A and B are shown apart, each in its own frame.
Chain A
Amino acid sequence: MAGNSAPIAAIELVGVSKSFGAVTAVQNLDLVINDGEFFSMLGPSGSGKTTVLRIIAGFEPATSGTVLLAGQDVTSKAPFDRDVNTVFQDYALFPHMTVLENVAYGLRVRGIGKSERNLQALEALRMVRLEGFEDRKPSELSGGQRQRVALARAVVVKPKVLLLDEPLGALDLKLREQMQIELKELQRKLGITFIFVTHDQEEALTLSDRVAVFNQGRIEQIGTPRQLYERPESEFVARFVGTSNIFSESEAASLLAQPEACSVRPEKIEMRPSSQSQKDASVLPGKIIESIYIGSATRLIIEIDGGKKISVLRQASAGSETNFDRGQQVFIEIRNADLVPIKK
């Protein structure tokens, strides 16, 4: 832990565990989320990320451990006594209320007068670019619009921390990309902490200051998007964040002359015309067994001698383009510097 002079963390989880009957959803989790940070919790479904979010929000009591909010112990506090707000996966808009009433709800239950709360709600709607929709019912809105109402409703009460539970999951790709940009802008404008749950690694990398990768109720690795992508510490992270070629300890020893298991990204692998060996690199002969054209790049699957399949990404570059065909004999070069050692 940092010394006393360190700023108070927005959220701190200490030894938090959660079991549902015999199933352990979260195991002895320690996590510090800094003030003003865009923090993502990334993992496959069932990895415990949403449970952690619900524990922070107060919807689920932790089986053990402590939850600190801005340094205050809130472990036993109800959701309505916590200064965090949630944007739900399915938005959870109140169907019997208009858009304006939905957004003003948090202010209403705080006893703020009608004219004042409507003024603030309209301001929040303007911020998410939904002015003119205030008299509609949620059922009369599109998915993207509902998403914005849910955002406005959560931020209008000015929480210190905003929790977002896969908020873009239900949107189509184009809209999702647009909302990603808007979310990022909103977070900068508000300057509050965002905790974002997603199973989409690209989304997590694009949006976040830091990402925690969840697997089976534990955090595998926490880091900046660059750290996670460039230096994945475990096989799980290497595989889940982007695509990786994994060499087991024995493969690393025989093929790459490395002492431990390691991973390498497909785009870091070079194609060579001959087996001429390079300094601080391994050159391996192989055969192209699959060549997939994806526009800006070509993904190749190369089976190297001994049967191991390697994924290679060839970026299209200016000037002439070499064709790679199935069945072609090639050499691949992997530089030692691009190898990332991984723990088991």
Chain B
Amino acid sequence: MRLSRTSKWILGVVTIVTLAIIYLPLSVVLVNSFNTSKNMAWPPPGLTLDWWQKASNSSGLMAALSTSVMVALGATAIALVLGTLLSMALARYKFFGKQAVSLLVVLPIALPGIVTGIALNNAFRTVLGWNLSIVTIMVAHATFCIVTVYNNVMARLTRMHPNLEEASADLGAGLWTTFRLVTFPQLGSALFAGGLLAFALSFDEIVVTTFTAGSGVQTLPIWILENMFRPNQAPVVNVVAVVLVVVSVIPIYFAQRLAGSEQRR
């Protein structure tokens, strides 16, 4: 399709404005992490590495970070196993209630976090009699993390010809061997993409976490929320934000490259 000079120009401007709205605030955060002014005066009166040093020495921050990573890893692991099993069942077998199951699985991602949070809080404490801990956060996060794995794997399985699994069985492989040698290698990038999304969902979740975290358990988003308005800590929050941006670029880069190489195949 050929575009006129004017429309090219307009579209170019819209693109630049859109990207600017997304990325300029992020660069402000980056600059502020070096800002000598505690109240983030603009333009910065001077630059300093103090906040970076403070951040690396803050034990509360480090603890929150490690809690968040553990929760996200745990929730992702649960989601990978259950999401894969679920999509295999729904993609490959017919059974009573199949439609209902596929709806019920996807629902948690649409449910308001506050509803999920209150419901799980009640269920964990009063019905199951558990103490809230890091494990309860993992389980709570897994309820909606499953959806991303399920969706990705499901899409891959429906595209993948069931003939491959039949061929494997035909050549003498049992169910588990077929999964290990044929199905799983086909799912690789779908699991990676689904797992990445699940990790990201869990890592910045705040509402459900508030209701399912035990006392003394603090994830990074909760730590940030609590420290953002403390004058001494606010610049440190900027440092955390910058680190998070950099850290999230890495998996997105790999996911993109993976998708690209699959399209070429």
Interface residues of A (CB under 8 A from B): 57-59, 78-80, 84-86, 88, 90, 92-96, 105-106, 108-110, 139, 153-154, 157
Contact = CB atoms under 8 A, between A and B. Distances in A.
B170 A139 contact: no
Contacts of B171: 80, 85, 105-106, 109, 153-154, 157
Given A95-B186, A109-B177, A90 B163 contact: yes
B99 to A, nearest CB: 17
Contacts of B265: 95, 139
Interface size grouping (class) on chain B? 10 to 19
14 contacts: A58-B169, A80-B171, A80-B173, A86-B166, A90-B161, A92-B163, A95-B265, A105-B168, A108-B181, A109-B171, A109-B172, A109-B177, A110-B172, A154-B171
Given A109-B181, A139-B265, A94 B170 contact: no
A88 B163 contact: yes
B112 interface: no
A79 B169 CA distance: 6
Contacts of A78: 169
A253 to B, nearest CB: 52
Contacts of A109: 168, 171-174, 177, 181
A94 B177 CA distance: 14
Interface in B180-204: 181-182, 185-186
B161 A92 contact: yes
Interface string B239-264: 00000000000000000000000000
Interface in B91-126: none
Interface in B186-242: 186
Contacts of A90: 161, 163
B47 interface: no
Best-surrounded residue of B168, B169, B185 (most CB of chain A within 10 A): B169
B155 interface: no
Given A109-B181, A139-B265, A92 B167 contact: yes
Contacts of B163: 88, 90, 92
Contacts of B181: 94, 105, 108-109
Nearest to B164: A92
Given A59-B169, A85-B170, 16 more contacts: A58-B170, A80-B169, A80-B171, A84-B170, A88-B163, A88-B167, A90-B163, A92-B167, A95-B164, A105-B168, A105-B173, A109-B172, A109-B181, A110-B172, A139-B265, A154-B171
Nearest to A57: B170
Given A79-B166, A94-B182, A157 B161 contact: no
Contact of B164 (A86, A94, A110, A157): A94
A59 B92 CA distance: 13
